[in-house]
Structure 1
Amino acid sequence: MKHLLNLLAAIALLVWGSHLVRTGVLRVFGANLRSLLARSMGNRFTAALSGMGVTALVQSSTATSLMTSSFVGQGLIALPAALAVMRGADVGTALMSVLFSVDLSWLSPVFILVGVVLFVTRQASTAGRVGRVLIGLGLMLLALEMVVQASGPMLASPLIKAMLTSISSDITLELFMGCVLAVMAYSSLAIVLLISAMAASHVVPLDVALGLVLGANLGSGLLAVMTTAKSAVEVRQVTVGNMVFKILGVLIMSPFIGMWMKYVQPYLPGEAHGVVLFHLAYNVIISVGFIGFTQWVADLMTRLMPKPVEDKHKRPQHLDPSALSTPSLAISCAAREALYQADVVETMLTGILDVIQKNDEQLALRIRKMDDEVDQLYSSIKYYLTKISREALGEEESKRWADIIGFTINMEQIGDIIERIIIDIEDKKIKKGRKFSEAGMAEITELHTRLLGNLRLGMSVFLNGNVRDAKRLLEEKVRFRDLERTYSSTHLARLSDNTVQSIETSSLHIDLISELKRINSLICSIAYPILESAGELVPSRVKAINEAAAQAAPAPQHEGA
């Protein structure tokens, strides 16, 4: 039992180490990896090379698959190019398994020591994130050594021998077990390394190990299919197409296991090398041999999984679940959906003036229904952001995460205010048949025009993070506040002159310009995170007043002075 627990702990440590490496690399290079993939789609061969390089860094073909399928879902790359990326990604995983099969156990304490020092001392910096990657690499190497040590004593167990006898020469069972292990571990690389270590310790016969390796490759493809099961059709076309290649590769390679054992294995130094090199051969064959068929498989996926007729009213469109494994990409998806939420708010804000001027009750009803859409978008974006792994976010991405949350909250609150404004207009103006005075209508129109301009400027600040535009937005806040005070005073002057229309609509007029001011304050708050990050925020007036008061206060008198 002790040896079994040690083996299970070693497997868990291997999986955890690969997770640390993957998340650490994504935190350091996440945005750059996306750019590399996007720039390399000129032809299928450069796409395959980029997939190989990205997977070698991330150490997960599944992560590369999800990243690539997200690009397809957003229309950034074509399906054949994405399938070519996956051909290279599988080779990248196989190359890493070959590298780890070399006896690098002496590097484990070095990686762990250096990684912990970097992570503890400089956790928030790039060096700290590199330390996280080194810790993961060290743990993987340590786990492989533990697998060899724990599996040796288990060979004498009658139960283990009975299990090995039951699966020997049963390729179907071997494929199934390898597939299940890869899905459970969320990493075909970790399982291939585990199989090679167990083959080296003679826990499993070599022919069984090769069958398990083929199953692990199927498992990595199945894992991507399962992860994108609820994604858009374009996303699922990538993962299912990649699964087709893997199945074809297994069908081709399975009959040659015996030939590998007879003609190739005798020339290799050991069973572990035989496992990882067989894994590499399988992926090279299906990548090089099938790369010319990416267009054919893409056409097949398009016929089997046709793109449905686009429903423009179906939301959310940009919150791609498959992008969650690549936090930098998921952040971009959430930002795009937040901008759509702002577009809906802009439509609501634009409609206010038409409702006031034309007493359009149908438009008022549509605007109030739009607030439900704004609320639903807020909930969807918030829930999507909570599913992004915060530990995989860098410092800038964490700030962007917070900015998106703040932006969507502001838009949701603006939608609620607009709904209240519309209800007030219906109750206090349309139903009672009242009108604003000509001067009052001109003031409301002026504030409304400025508010629309500020909303569009705020959306630009949120999208681009431009410091100059953020400063302009805060300047507009001061101008709008001054206008609101001026128009409140002129309205009171009209009341003093006994202007009938002003008296009838006084309550609505005051409430309306006050609510517009609140909306403007929420819009202008978009600028604060940008200016704070740039160190451009002026100290608060309250702080300045307190400091001035402290300086002006007389010095305390001592007794006897």
Structure 2
Amino acid sequence: MNYVNIILPFVGGLGMFIYGMQIMAQGLENAAGNRMKSLLEVLTKNKFFGVLLGALITAVIQSSSATTVMVVGFVNAGIMNLNQAMGVIMGANIGTTVTGWLVSSVEWAKFLSPANLAPLAIIIGVVIMLTGTRRSTKDISSIIIGFGLLFVGITTMSSAVSPLQQSEGFRNMFVVLGGNPFLGIVAGALVTAIIQSSSASVGILQSLAAAGLVPFNAAIYIIMGQNIGTCVTAMLSSVGAKRNAKTAAIMHLLFNIIGTIIFSVLAIVFFQVIRPDMGSGIISQTQISAVHTAFNICTTVLLFPVSDLIIKLAKKIGRVEEEEQNDDSKVLLDERMLETPGLALQTTLSEVSRMGHIVEDTLEKSRNVMFTKDFQDIMEIKEMEDKVDRLCGGITEYVIKISTLSISEKEHEEVAGLLQILSDMERISDYCENVSEFAETLYERKAEFSEIGKAQMKEMIDVCIKSYHCALLAFESQDSEMAMKVIEEETKADDLEVQLRSDHMQRMANGQCATDPGIVFLDALVCMERISDHARNIAEELLTESK
């Protein structure tokens, strides 16, 4: 038997299978667009919703490894806690079974025969790609072409291994794997760890099953091993991450190991005591899909009630406390998220919101500093402005990386808007620092605003802070009505600045206000009015995006 003629087509088919799976997943993800981003809101609910979310995301991107890598990234960024991560991890194991059902559909839906459907899907996808002009059309073509390539790949693998039906040595190898659960689990884990895709690993098993080579018991143990092997990607991803993120990867590994141990014991009892004849029977592609799905669903149902204990064990192994103190000037965005641009953009929105609240706190700290001239407040404002500068730089760099990825036209517009909003928030923080410098000037020159000057400045500050507060609320809720309120407040600030400037000039002309505090007053008026201008910029950007 010429093994070269078997191995080369098999490897080529595997490559086509993985490539088809990836471009189909990318097309699905792009087509999902903003709907993918809104899924993150579910994470604020509970662990059960996390399971549903994990299953849904994995079904779309067709890789439990990719989902778990994202979870590690979320935990590392402080966006997700370990309890939420546990739910998503459990759901990811269920979602990854979708690819297996696609492959086995050739058995339970004869009209989906790869010989007929794959070439048809590829040519339809190519025609759509060549004739379509919109981005959404290109995404649809990627889904169809990927689907076709996936089927071509699995057909190529199945055809390549069909001569092995005559190989006694190959058949005996599977008999050994079926008779020795440990070897079967290790084999499944090793193959999956090497190619870093449980979906592709299951596809390989199904191609061998299509050739009538895989006994039922061997398939069961290999499938269980595949669930352990898929943890390798997340474990590698956690290298260099914080302990919390490493703990998330450990949770994934523990969950799959515990599930494998439990069901391996049940399988051994079943095949050796209850139905030994069934173990030696040949398994079909559809049966592999059913077993894979049943194993993952049953594991989740069984371990869901004790998932808190798994989290505690993982934390003990990872030597981590759940509540780790984060430096709020550190950008909580993870490179792992860039694998899924839609979700990366959502995490960026959350981070911009966090920066926006720091700016809001800085504004509040600036509210009275010109009147109190408190040195501690002056220094804190400057420190907060430094934090905003660091956050703005890091988030901007991350947003630019997102802009280079394969994202929709709508998301490109959103990225451009985010960059503008980041700039406006950072400029507001700069003006807060200017206010602290005005306070220093007043302190050094032992100057004070007049009583009427204090009252008028407080009125101006209140209007400008309110305009930014409304802008931040509008950004977080994407509320057009709130954005319109920002514009109203900014118009009020413009009118007030003109009036107060005129009144102040009159007081200075009448000798009611000293020169030093008078100059500071005028500079502060300009500063506050500019703050309201930038708040309006944020609101107008939101209104533009909502059209």
TM (normalized to structure 1)? 0.75
Match of 2:516 in 1: 504
- Measured after TM superposition, the shift of residue 189 of structure 1 is 0.2
Pair 1:189-2:195 in alignment: no
Q: Judging changes above 3 Å, is the alpha-carbon distance between structure 1 residues 40 and 473 closer, same or farther for their aligned structure 2 residues? A: closer
CA deviation string 1:13-65 (max 9, x = no partner): 32232222333333344765665994998896x97677556544442223444
- The 8 Å contact of residues 354 and 360 in structure 1, kept in 2 or not, is answered as no
Q: Judging changes above 3 Å, is the alpha-carbon distance between structure 1 residues 284 and 463 closer, same or farther for their aligned structure 2 residues? A: closer
Give the residue type in structure 2 aligned to 1:145: T
Match of 2:390 in 1: 376
- Measured after TM superposition, the shift of residue 375 of structure 1 is 1.3
Q: Judging changes above 3 Å, is the alpha-carbon distance between structure 1 residues 206 and 462 closer, same or farther for their aligned structure 2 residues? A: same
- Measured after TM superposition, the shift of residue 5 of structure 1 is 6.5
- The 8 Å contact of residues 182 and 191 in structure 1, kept in 2 or not, is answered as yes
For residues 147 and 135 of structure 2, the distance between their equivalents in structure 1, rounded to whole angstroms, comes to 19
Pair 1:519-2:539 in alignment: no
Give the residue type in structure 1 aligned to 2:345: I
The two structures, once aligned, show a CA RMSD in angstroms of 4.6
Pair 1:409-2:412 in alignment: no
Match of 1:138 among 116, 141, 148: 148
Gaps spanning 5+ residues in structure 1: where?
536-561
For residues 485 and 55 of structure 1, the distance between their equivalents in structure 2, rounded to whole angstroms, comes to 57
Match of 1:350 in 2: 364
Give the residue type in structure 1 aligned to 2:253: M
Pair 1:333-2:333 in alignment: no
- Measured after TM superposition, the shift of residue 404 of structure 1 is 3.0
Q: Judging changes above 3 Å, is the alpha-carbon distance between structure 1 residues 234 and 309 closer, same or farther for their aligned structure 2 residues? A: closer
Gaps spanning 5+ residues in structure 2: where?
107-112
Match of 2:21 in 1: 18
Give the residue type in structure 2 aligned to 1:20: I
Pair 1:478-2:491 in alignment: yes
Paired residues in the alignment total 525
- The 8 Å contact of residues 37 and 47 in structure 1, kept in 2 or not, is answered as no
- Measured after TM superposition, the shift of residue 262 of structure 1 is 7.2
Give the residue type in structure 2 aligned to 1:471: M
For residues 194 and 386 of structure 2, the distance between their equivalents in structure 1, rounded to whole angstroms, comes to 40
Match of 1:533 in 2: 545
Q: Judging changes above 3 Å, is the alpha-carbon distance between structure 1 residues 409 and 59 closer, same or farther for their aligned structure 2 residues? A: same
Structure 2 SS opposite 1:525: helix
For residues 415 and 47 of structure 1, the distance between their equivalents in structure 2, rounded to whole angstroms, comes to 36
Structure 2 SS opposite 1:307: coil
Match of 1:268 in 2: 282
Match of 1:553 in 2: none
For residues 11 and 369 of structure 2, the distance between their equivalents in structure 1, rounded to whole angstroms, comes to 68
- Measured after TM superposition, the shift of residue 113 of structure 1 is 3.2
Structure 1 SS opposite 2:96: helix
- Measured after TM superposition, the shift of residue 97 of structure 1 is 1.2
- Measured after TM superposition, the shift of residue 459 of structure 1 is 0.5
For residues 7 and 154 of structure 1, the distance between their equivalents in structure 2, rounded to whole angstroms, comes to 12
Q: Judging changes above 3 Å, is the alpha-carbon distance between structure 1 residues 37 and 400 closer, same or farther for their aligned structure 2 residues? A: closer
Q: Judging changes above 3 Å, is the alpha-carbon distance between structure 1 residues 42 and 459 closer, same or farther for their aligned structure 2 residues? A: closer
CA deviation string 1:354-394 (max 9, x = no partner): 22112222221111111111112223323444555865645
Give the residue type in structure 2 aligned to 1:528: E
Match of 1:489 in 2: 502
Match of 2:110 in 1: none
For residues 163 and 520 of structure 2, the distance between their equivalents in structure 1, rounded to whole angstroms, comes to 84
Give the residue type in structure 2 aligned to 1:475: E
Give the residue type in structure 2 aligned to 1:191: S
Structure 1 SS opposite 2:447: coil
Give the residue type in structure 1 aligned to 2:228: L
- Measured after TM superposition, the shift of residue 251 of structure 1 is 4.4
- Measured after TM superposition, the shift of residue 153 of structure 1 is 9.2
- The 8 Å contact of residues 390 and 398 in structure 1, kept in 2 or not, is answered as no
Match of 1:359 in 2: 373
Give 1:549-560 correspondences, 5 Å limit.
Answer: none
Structure 2 SS opposite 1:433: coil
CA deviation string 1:387-438 (max 9, x = no partner): 5586564555444443333222221222223223423442x32212223344
Q: Judging changes above 3 Å, is the alpha-carbon distance between structure 1 residues 224 and 35 closer, same or farther for their aligned structure 2 residues? A: same
- The 8 Å contact of residues 154 and 207 in structure 2, kept in 1 or not, is answered as yes
Match of 1:59 among 54, 57, 62: 62
- The 8 Å contact of residues 429 and 435 in structure 1, kept in 2 or not, is answered as yes
Match of 1:243 in 2: 253
Match of 2:479 among 466, 483, 490: 466
- The 8 Å contact of residues 467 and 489 in structure 2, kept in 1 or not, is answered as yes
Give the residue type in structure 2 aligned to 1:224: A
- Measured after TM superposition, the shift of residue 100 of structure 1 is 0.3
- The 8 Å contact of residues 17 and 137 in structure 1, kept in 2 or not, is answered as yes
- Measured after TM superposition, the shift of residue 445 of structure 1 is 2.3
Match of 1:147 among 146, 151, 157: 157
Q: Judging changes above 3 Å, is the alpha-carbon distance between structure 1 residues 483 and 94 closer, same or farther for their aligned structure 2 residues? A: closer
For residues 71 and 244 of structure 2, the distance between their equivalents in structure 1, rounded to whole angstroms, comes to 11
Q: Judging changes above 3 Å, is the alpha-carbon distance between structure 1 residues 201 and 227 closer, same or farther for their aligned structure 2 residues? A: same
For residues 183 and 9 of structure 1, the distance between their equivalents in structure 2, rounded to whole angstroms, comes to 19
Q: Judging changes above 3 Å, is the alpha-carbon distance between structure 1 residues 16 and 417 closer, same or farther for their aligned structure 2 residues? A: farther
Q: Give the fraction of aligned pairs with identical amino acids, expressed as a percent.
A: 23
Structure 2 SS opposite 1:435: coil
Give the residue type in structure 2 aligned to 1:516: M
Q: Judging changes above 3 Å, is the alpha-carbon distance between structure 1 residues 297 and 442 closer, same or farther for their aligned structure 2 residues? A: closer
Structure 1 SS opposite 2:321: coil
For residues 27 and 40 of structure 1, the distance between their equivalents in structure 2, rounded to whole angstroms, comes to 24
Match of 1:307 in 2: 321
Give 1:288-303 correspondences, 5 Å limit.
Answer: 290-291=303-304, 293-301=306-314, 303=316
Give the residue type in structure 2 aligned to 1:108: A
- The 8 Å contact of residues 124 and 395 in structure 1, kept in 2 or not, is answered as no
- The 8 Å contact of residues 271 and 279 in structure 2, kept in 1 or not, is answered as no
Q: Judging changes above 3 Å, is the alpha-carbon distance between structure 1 residues 480 and 174 closer, same or farther for their aligned structure 2 residues? A: same
For residues 278 and 229 of structure 1, the distance between their equivalents in structure 2, rounded to whole angstroms, comes to 32
- Measured after TM superposition, the shift of residue 115 of structure 1 is 3.3
For residues 359 and 83 of structure 1, the distance between their equivalents in structure 2, rounded to whole angstroms, comes to 49
For residues 520 and 287 of structure 1, the distance between their equivalents in structure 2, rounded to whole angstroms, comes to 52
Q: Judging changes above 3 Å, is the alpha-carbon distance between structure 1 residues 509 and 290 closer, same or farther for their aligned structure 2 residues? A: closer
Out of 458-467 and 298-307, give the one that drifted further. 298-307
- The 8 Å contact of residues 157 and 207 in structure 2, kept in 1 or not, is answered as yes
- The 8 Å contact of residues 265 and 274 in structure 1, kept in 2 or not, is answered as no
For residues 345 and 48 of structure 1, the distance between their equivalents in structure 2, rounded to whole angstroms, comes to 35
